[in-house]
Amino acid sequence: MTLYGPPPDRRAGIVSFNVEGIHPHDVAQFLDRDAIAIRAAHHCCQPLMRRLHVDATNRASFYLYNVPEEVDRLAAGVRHVIEVFA
Amino acid sequence: MSEFEDMYREVILDHYKNPRNYGSLEEPHAHAEGQNPLCGDEVAISVRFGGDGETIEDVRFEGRGCAISQAATSMLTDLVKGRKAADVATLPKEELLEEVGIQLTPIRLKCAILGLGVLKVALHRAKGTPLPDEWQGLDFA
């Protein structure tokens, strides 16, 4: 997995990432089936995507209403997608 | 395991990992490229007609992007080989979606029909016929 963005001490509750070999739309669709909503693809910022040399990214955002259990579910969901595509 | 995941594994991932008719043709009779600007999926399709100038004798595609876009284009090439250009130019998207077989959200629907749109552009261009309105708008090169 590749993470994008600043180091943890300067980071907001936003995590952009890619799973090697799996397009974000495929990652997002499987997470969606597990009732986890993330945003996937260009995020309306193609110039940044070009600068990062990626076609697209996944982006998980956390806020007041999220609980730690949901973070674990996201991690488990990503592991599950990797298994399916392996 | 859900039925959705079964289908994804058996059908979509099979075509994604082992795409049928992958590659390009030298001096194709019809060719077009297109992309889905929302997600960056890209597809290029080349067609060669048989002696009658109508039957799709060979069709190849190249591309990159999500599993749905590439798998659906792979299925499409199997689906149209041996058929008449005029029939394929008017092929309803439902026929391809039936092959794809899984329930798609609106965004993924665009991934699934990218290859079909590109093929239609290639065929209409080769035959000099106008592309129907519903297929306009993809970013065709």
pLDDT in tens, B119-128: 999 999 999 9
Joined together, the tokens standing for residue B56 give 């799709």
> Pick from B4, B9, B111: which is nearest to A25 by CB?
B111
Q: Give CA separation, A82 vs A73, A77, B79, B132, in Å.
A: 14, 9, 30, 39
The catalytic position among A9, A20, A21, A44 is A44
H or E element in which residue B23 lies: none
Taking a contact as any Cβ pair under 8 Å apart, which residues of chain B between 42 and 101 contact chain A? 64-68
Instruction: Give the Å distances, CA to CA, from A63 to A67, A68, A69, A86, B109.
Output: 9, 11, 13, 32, 30
Whether residue B56 contacts residue B88, with contact meaning beta carbons closer than 8 Å, is answered with yes
User: pLDDT tens digits for A32-81?
Assistant: 988 999 999 888 888 998 899 988 999 999 999 999 999 999 999 999 99
Query: Is the model's pLDDT at B38 over the cut of 80?
Result: no
Helix axes A68-85, A24-33, angle to 10 degrees: 120
Q: Inform me whether the pLDDT recorded for B139 exceeds 70.
A: no
- Catalytic annotation on A44? yes
A:26-85 residues touching chain B, CB 8 A cutoff: 26, 29-30, 32-33, 40-42, 46, 49, 55-56, 84-85
Which residues make beta-bridge pairs with A14? Answer: A61
pLDDT of B36: 85
How far is the alpha carbon of A76 from chain B, nearest alpha carbon, in Å? 15
pLDDT digits (tens, 9 = 90+) for B97-112: 999 988 888 888 989 9
CB nearest to B39's CB, from A30, A32, A56: A56
Phi–psi pair at B111, nearest 5 degrees: -65, -45
Measure CB to CB from residue A33 to each of B4, B38, B111 and give the nearest one: B4
Q: From the CA atom positions of chain B, what is the Rg in Å?
A: 14
Separation of alpha carbons B61 and B73, rounded Å: 8
ipTM of the prediction: 0.76
What is the interface size between A and B, counted as CB pairs within 8 Å?
45
Q: Give percent above pLDDT 70 in chain B.
A: 96
In the DSSP assignment, the letter for residue B131 is P
pTM confidence score: 0.87
